[in-house]
């Protein structure tokens, strides 16, 4: 299996997405691990699907 570009890392207060290629944080802080979002980012990376998933996980945070 190849090395994944985006991975979830636990930080105080939840999870953040780390971009291995860019070596920086990507997106927001999430209380729950965004597994579906990570799968999409590392797979097909459809912008419309990523937007829907980001809104979904952002809504769960509130």
pLDDT tens across 13-50, in order?
A: 999 999 999 999 999 999 889 999 999 999 999 999 99
CB neighbourhood size of 31 (10 A): 12
pLDDT at 60: 78
Domain boundaries, the chain: 6-61
The DSSP call for residue 32 is S
Predicted TM-score (pTM) of the model is 0.86
At 58, the pLDDT band (50, 70, 90 cuts) reads confident
Flag whether pLDDT at 51 surpasses 60: yes
Distances (CA, A) of 32 to 1, 2, 21: 25, 25, 23
pLDDT at 61: 63
At 11, the pLDDT band (50, 70, 90 cuts) reads very high
């Amino acid at each position: 299996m190849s090395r994944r570009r985006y991975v979830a890392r636990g930080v105080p207060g939840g999870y953040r997405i780390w971009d291995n290629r860019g070596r920086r944080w990507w997106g927001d802080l999430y209380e729950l691990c965004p597994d579906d979002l990570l799968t999409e980012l590392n797979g097909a990376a459809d912008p419309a699907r990523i937007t829907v998933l980001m809104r979904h996980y952002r809504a769960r945070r509130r």
